[in-house]
Structure 1
Amino acid sequence: MRITGVMVQYYFTCRRELWFFSRNLNFDFENDDMLIGRLIHGESFERDWKEIFLGDARLDVVKRRGKLRVIEVKKSSRLEEPAKWQLRYYLYLLREAGVEAEGVMSYPEEGRSERMGLNEEDVKILERAFEDIKRVISLERPPRAEKKPYCRRCSYRDFCWV
């Protein structure tokens, strides 16, 4: 069963969103937030842009300055913790491949970034999350909808609240 970085982010955001995503159900690629995010992503690291595929994961930007650096670009820090878990997942995959790297969460519109690493507690949390991700996406029906602060801007909102 493949697990992607987006799945890890959705797991830490909303299990229902993860379930829908795992079934390719009507993901709203024309959602304004998605379009703006792709634009920011493309413009923020234009000359340094590298896209690396590591298994089923697509790492946004990779630079080498001493240590390998993986940069995860997000439109805003609204979903900061789930985005950090997505980045930790990429660091985990690299570690499993024998490559030590550091991560950077970048929020170009907010003019800030944060360096991150991967510690043993993070590894344990991720490995438990992998098992639960498999459980969630194997469910016959989606988990119950839970009202969260970011629901109104979610591309899956119509599956939960209409």
Structure 2
Amino acid sequence: MDTITGTLVWYYAVCPRECWLMAHEICPDEDNQLLDLGRLLHEESYKREDKEFSAPGMRIDILRTSSPGEELVVCEVKKSIRFLKPAKMQLCFYLWKLKQQGVNAKGELLVPKKKKRIPVELTPALETELERIMSRIEKLVAEPKPPPVVKSKFCRRCAYREFCYA
């Protein structure tokens, strides 16, 4: 499961086709304004925090401790709560990866526009769900073609829209 990343977990939870496209390094429409907005949000929000911690399969937005000597807190910054479940699974993936390396951590989803901080813990139930998702991603990525288009409410603003509806 080394090829799976937190980003792929997020994409899979939104749209398996989008996950397949990303896994096969097919770039989304870079002119999509939502991608630019997301980049700007990451740059401008939480300026006093240390940002962008990278490790295999992980690109963590913010990594901190709640207070000296306390447990590590992994934070994922999101534009809105619209994709709350995918964001939660992405954050659970990071917590799971850290747990595999002997690091216990808690998570927080940060939504600066709404001034929300949503705590996330890797429970046994979420861990089971995550392992099921990772297994499905492995099978999906091994396929020679992307899965068929399944129209959803997220398609309208998707940066991969032209790959499905051109």
Q: Same fold (TM over 0.5)?
A: yes
Q: Tell me whether 72-81 or 22-31 shows the greater mean CA deviation.
A: 22-31
- 1:60 Cα offset (Å): 0.8
1:13-162 pair list within 5 angstroms:
13-65=14-66, 66-162=70-166
Percent identical? 37
SS at the partner of 2:118? strand
Q: Which amino acid aligns with 1:14?
A: C
Distance (Å, rounded) in 2 between the aligned partners of 1:68 and 1:83: 19
Distance (Å, rounded) in 1 between the aligned partners of 2:31 and 2:127: 34
SS at the partner of 1:142? coil
Contact 1:54/1:93 (<8 A) preserved = no
Encode CA deviations 1:41-96: one digit per residue, 9 max, x unaligned: 12111111232222121111001122100110011111111111000100101111
- 1:161 Cα offset (Å): 1.4
Distance (Å, rounded) in 2 between the aligned partners of 1:95 and 1:26: 31
**Where in structure 2 are there 5+ consecutive unaligned residues?**
none
Q: List structure 1 segments (4+ residues) > 6 angstroms apart after TM superposition.
A: none
- 1:145 Cα offset (Å): 0.5
Distance (Å, rounded) in 2 between the aligned partners of 1:95 and 1:161: 40
Contact 1:5/1:90 (<8 A) preserved = yes
Q: Number of residue pairs matched?
A: 162
**Where in structure 1 are there 5+ consecutive unaligned residues?**
none
Distance (Å, rounded) in 1 between the aligned partners of 2:82 and 2:136: 24
Distance (Å, rounded) in 2 between the aligned partners of 1:49 and 1:132: 33
SS at the partner of 2:51? coil
- 1:28 Cα offset (Å): 2.2
Contact 1:70/1:103 (<8 A) preserved = yes
- 1:30 Cα offset (Å): 3.0
TM-score under structure 2 normalisation? 0.93
